[in-house]
Structure 1
């Protein structure tokens, strides 16, 4: 273990520009100043390796113009020009330009939302600037920055190690070797290639210990940048919902091609002309293609992710939004999720005596001074963990003036906590003594084993632990040893430890947790606590927050069961205590294999496998390891339980609104298809032209992507059971409902059109009334789709019923107002009416 910072010489690292290597001029106590950071960034740019190019207007425009709908519109305009109808062609092109503008604006807005979410989810770094330790986006690092790295963090840039505490790094991204590499302080006079053990490289993962480095290269100047690899080059696979909608659209497109060919042939047989038949076929294709569906899905997911981010949850994978409404089991840690992660020392036990510390405590008896002394010595010198901060705070308050605060002692060796031995030790050089002092803290049973206590002594200690844990306290054991040999033992068991005492820490429960858990339970979601604390501690916390803790399963019991027995046992157990990280993975897999949709919270390196295995992995954003955030689907922007419930609520709302939007899309295309196809097949004059379809699209698109996306949640949304796992968005029931509603509108419109033609009304007059009725019918379908579940509850499964009418949606009335004004202009301005082949209202009497 090495702890003394080394200032490398300015010329120590070749290949780096002089300003990139502050060397002896680097202030390791204060880091760079804000002015220095800006100067370095101006010279070296952002710390990004081959980042994804940001979306531009031109790129978005090009993607929109390649859509089938716009190609059809351009083809229709070309046919009008060939037929000599220039005004119709120009009108259609004008509408095409309008739709292109709206689509590009919407697509670009969606892309901007996704870009901003990507920036939020970018790796972060702990950096020392202006004397303050700050958390910044890794892209903002510059050469010369002093950066802290901890276990589970992604190294954010290339740098020279200036401090190392049992530091081990996985460099497989660069070398392909999966074995971790131990790091030590960089030599001041060595080239990086001669001293790889003193260098950290961008993209590698810290798998053990902690350290400090000074940034030597950023972005394309790093080793990763020079070999052309990219951390951002991995694209997310299509989600099941995207695949489902893509399949649906492709099937519709296949049907459209067949029907269009049929219509072209039918028109040719009836009229003997090809071009008008092709125009009718294009009109039908425009009316039949549900090109809105992929757009709807993208818009809903992007805007939904932004809504969820506003609630304090960052979406790293859009597919998680689809799954939120299906969550049936929510596995949560205790510390920091259910509790505030604000530790305070509440109970001390030493020399057979016990003292409770509260607001009434005036001072702590001298019998406990040694216990506090060794608690501080067994903690980090500059603590970050709330538990160790509490030990240092207690030490400063109670040991001042006692000679037990050893500022002149130096840390010379340390033993890290491991899954096999949940205890850690620090060895200190003591100038006034002839030996090294060794301080140990950890799980009480592990400390008892290190002290080689006999069965009676161990039982007595663990009885005290049980009493303290029953009050919801986290309990640690403390031991001490002395070491006089020049060589350090390989393991902690080789020290001759003696037992010092126990400490109990209180971590208060978050005040909003009980209500949030009650909401989950009302929504049919099991909340399961998985903690490493004692069963009695877990039971006390469970009782306080409303989780059933009558039956608790320990990690030992989990380890003793095979998979089949475990799946059976977890059916009625909601609290798991003394659980190791590898057992979390088994529990998640057991819930999954039982048919549950599992969401799980985690923050450590060892939590990563379980987070990845869960349907929805939720990482702690403030205290979580970088590797946990990378594998998680959601990241909490504040370590709290309430945002998880908000995300589930929003996930349910997004899905419910998406179902409505898809149902409306299906419904609204039925009358358009019927109004285009049936008149041609039965020998009536064509009712719709491409320009009419374009007008209808101007109504449909904002309704789907704006109105339904902004539908408020139903009042009983969180009193419904989770959506069935594997349920299709485009279920047969939803398709039949939408098609049935659309068929009713189609029959009314075609009935009106046929009746007018049968009574010898002029075709322009019949088309005018039929078109107006079609627009009104499309508007009516909005209300039908919104209210249909209320009037047809027997047709819906229990999980989709809505007991309450929807709340007001201001975007609905805005879209309807604009539609009404556009239709009124169309019917009152003669020039516009003629472009559409309609009769203005002022000329209706003359037309009749």
Structure 2
């Protein structure tokens, strides 16, 4: 460990003129003031490296104007001009403008939602301002800020190291070297080039230890920014649903081209004219192309991600929304997910005796004073972890007036937790001693091993720990040692430790967890607890929240299992205790190999591989390491279990509504295709023109993206089993359901149109009645699709949806206007039936 206990840092203005802070001497105990932060931000801007600008209205408009549907509309307009139908051409252009504006608005709205979600998922930083430690977006940092970094976090800006506690950093993003670099306190009189080991660089990852730095450069002035690299420049691969829908649209487009050419040839053969035939072909192409499907998918996922964010879960990868409805196994940690992380010391064990501590405890017996003393010494000086805060609070109250609170001692060396040895030690220098005091705390079995206790002594301690853990307590062992100066051993087990005692902490279960787990179980989702805590602690918590803890498998058991035994274990066991981080990955892979869709929560650096391997990795947003958040699909905005269940519920709802929207899209296109093709083949006058298709599109788009997107969940949504692995959105059932409903509507429409023509009614009247019937049929299909069961599942009465009535009202008003205004009806080639 290295520190520089000074009031202020050297003048940063002595560095690079562009990147240096004009703050002067920065007070490392208070940080910048609010006024200084605003002044710096006005000068240096926000801390962004990514040069990718936000999508503008013009860029969105350009994308829309390049869509095939728009090009078809322009082609149809040109043909109307060639045929001399100027009024038809102008009317078509007016409707083209309306549909383009609607599409641009919808696309820009979706892009804004995605931008806001990206802002929420931006890296964060622990910063000292006005004497208060705050969590802010990394984009808000300015030169001169005092920033804390620790294991698993990404360095949020360039900075000068002012404190280093076993600090090691991976700088491969800039150097390409995979070996981590050990950092030390920067020399006051050295530049960044002269003292690279005293500097931290934006984008590097802290792989070990903790540190403090003063920001010297932000944004494009950082080393990473100057070389033009970006942490967010890698585009996310297309999700399975995006690939599936794009493939479907492309296949339909190929079919559309063939059918349109056939229709043009048929029109030419029957009438001897080319241009009207091409116009009929364009009308058919507009009726066939299901361009709404990719738009629907984008809108549903973006707005769905915003809904999920409102429930406290941030979506980092849109593909996770697709998978939520398939989740069959939910692997959760105990601490912080099922419990409140409001730890308090409840039991002390020392010198063969134990004392229970509760809010009414007036005094802690002297026999436990040494235990509390070394418990505090083995903790961080300024604790952030709730467990260490509980230790300090117990020490403040229990050791008051005993002379065992050592404010004049200096921390001189420390040893961190490792997967091999789950214990940590702090070495202290005391003014009155010529040797160092070493305090250790960790897992009871690890502390027993460090103290070299006999087998009988170890069994006594572990039995006591197990008894404490059976009450749902988290149990730690405490040890002490003395060490002469000046050399330090490489490992903790080289100290001559003596056992001091045990401490048990209570972390209450969150009150809403039991109900949320019950919902998961009703939905066919297994909830599996994977914890590093004692089996008896895990069993007590599992029993309280409703997880089956009758049989518990430990990390030691897992290490001894072969693949077949592990498969048997994951099928019958719901609680895994004393599990090492690498075994979490082993369990996730075992569940995956068993054809389960796995969601898993995690917060630490060592959890990252398992989070990445899970179908849905869920990182803790408040206490999780940055590396865990980066690899996760979802990030909890509050470390709680209930939002996970809400996200699964919303994922199921989004997918169910998406299926309905796709079914409706297929259904409404069938009558449009039939109305554009069949009259030409049987020798009737054309029923539809491009202007009619546009009118219908103005109904279809809001129905899909507004009505079905806002469809409330069915009452049995969380009583259905998870969706099967490999189930396709565009399944045979979905396509058949939509096609059947559409085919019935098409037959009724063509029967009505043909009957009117056969009985001698004028063409404008027959077309008018048929078109009104087509619009009414499109609206009726909404109710049909909502009432049909999904994938063979029993249908319940559809819930109320106010957006349905809004769209119906707007459609009715537009149709009423069309039937009332003679000039408008004539532009459509219709008769104003309601005109006087």
TM bracket, shorter-chain basis: over 0.9
Match of 1:829 in 2: 821
Within a 5 Å distance, the mapping from 1:467-546 to structure 2 comes to: 467-546=467-546
CA distance in 2, matches of 1:831, 1:393: 82
CA distance in 2, matches of 1:193, 1:563: 52
Within a 5 Å distance, the mapping from 1:310-459 to structure 2 comes to: 310-459=310-459
Task: Map Cα deviations across residues 12-32 of structure 1 (whole Å, 9 max, x no partner).
Answer: 863244851645x10111100
Match of 1:776 in 2: 776
CA distance in 2, matches of 1:487, 1:428: 14
Within a 5 Å distance, the mapping from 1:186-265 to structure 2 comes to: 186-265=186-265
Within a 5 Å distance, the mapping from 1:621-660 to structure 2 comes to: 621-660=621-660
* 1:43 to 2:40 alignment: no
- Alignment partner of 1:714: what SS? coil
CA distance in 2, matches of 1:476, 1:590: 30
Which among 795, 807, 810 is matched to residue 818 of structure 1? 810
CA distance in 2, matches of 1:410, 1:359: 32
2:19/2:217 contact within 8 Å kept: no
Match of 1:10 in 2: 11
Distance 1:324 1:466, change over 3 A: same
Task: Map Cα deviations across residues 214-237 of structure 1 (whole Å, 9 max, x no partner).
Answer: 000000110101111111101100
- Alignment partner of 2:2: what SS? coil
Task: Map Cα deviations across residues 485-523 of structure 1 (whole Å, 9 max, x no partner).
Answer: 311111111111000000000000000000000000000
Match of 2:671 in 1: 671
Match of 1:806 in 2: 798
Task: Map Cα deviations across residues 776-798 of structure 1 (whole Å, 9 max, x no partner).
Answer: 11110000000011xxx8xx44x
Deviation at 1:568, TM superposition (A): 2.3
Match of 1:145 in 2: 145
Distance 1:371 1:787, change over 3 A: same
1:707/1:811 contact within 8 Å kept: yes
Deviation at 1:843, TM superposition (A): 6.5
1:52/1:232 contact within 8 Å kept: no
Deviation at 1:361, TM superposition (A): 1.7
Match of 1:134 in 2: 134
CA distance in 1, matches of 2:373, 2:12: 44
2:41/2:142 contact within 8 Å kept: yes
Task: Map Cα deviations across residues 363-400 of structure 1 (whole Å, 9 max, x no partner).
Answer: 11000000000000000000000000000000001111
CA distance in 2, matches of 1:843, 1:657: 40
Deviation at 1:244, TM superposition (A): 0.2
1:675/1:746 contact within 8 Å kept: yes
Within a 5 Å distance, the mapping from 1:264-343 to structure 2 comes to: 264-343=264-343
Deviation at 1:11, TM superposition (A): 6.4
CA distance in 1, matches of 2:762, 2:228: 70
Deviation at 1:179, TM superposition (A): 1.0
CA distance in 1, matches of 2:209, 2:794: 53
CA distance in 1, matches of 2:33, 2:418: 38
CA distance in 2, matches of 1:17, 1:299: 42
1:8/1:187 contact within 8 Å kept: no
CA distance in 2, matches of 1:830, 1:360: 86
CA distance in 2, matches of 1:430, 1:167: 24
Match of 1:580 in 2: 580
CA distance in 2, matches of 1:14, 1:144: 12
TM-score by length of 1: 0.97
- Alignment partner of 1:480: what SS? strand
Deviation at 1:666, TM superposition (A): 0.2
Deviation at 1:484, TM superposition (A): 1.2
Match of 2:832 in 1: 840
Match of 1:697 in 2: 697
2:567/2:594 contact within 8 Å kept: yes
CA distance in 2, matches of 1:279, 1:5: 81
CA distance in 2, matches of 1:737, 1:492: 68
CA distance in 1, matches of 2:757, 2:175: 78
Match of 1:120 in 2: 120
* 1:20 to 2:21 alignment: yes
- Alignment partner of 1:173: what SS? helix
CA distance in 1, matches of 2:493, 2:215: 38
Within a 5 Å distance, the mapping from 1:27-176 to structure 2 comes to: 27-176=27-176
2:187/2:195 contact within 8 Å kept: yes
Distance 1:195 1:547, change over 3 A: same
CA distance in 1, matches of 2:120, 2:74: 40
2:441/2:476 contact within 8 Å kept: yes
CA distance in 2, matches of 1:292, 1:227: 41
Task: Map Cα deviations across residues 515-539 of structure 1 (whole Å, 9 max, x no partner).
Answer: 0000000000000000000100000
- Alignment partner of 1:20: what SS? coil
Mean Cα deviation higher: 517-526 or 4-13? 4-13
CA distance in 2, matches of 1:362, 1:788: 67
Unmatched 5+ stretches in structure 1? none
Deviation at 1:9, TM superposition (A): 3.3
- Alignment partner of 2:3: what SS? coil
CA distance in 2, matches of 1:148, 1:485: 30
Deviation at 1:564, TM superposition (A): 3.2
CA distance in 1, matches of 2:12, 2:594: 61
- Number of corresponding residues: 835
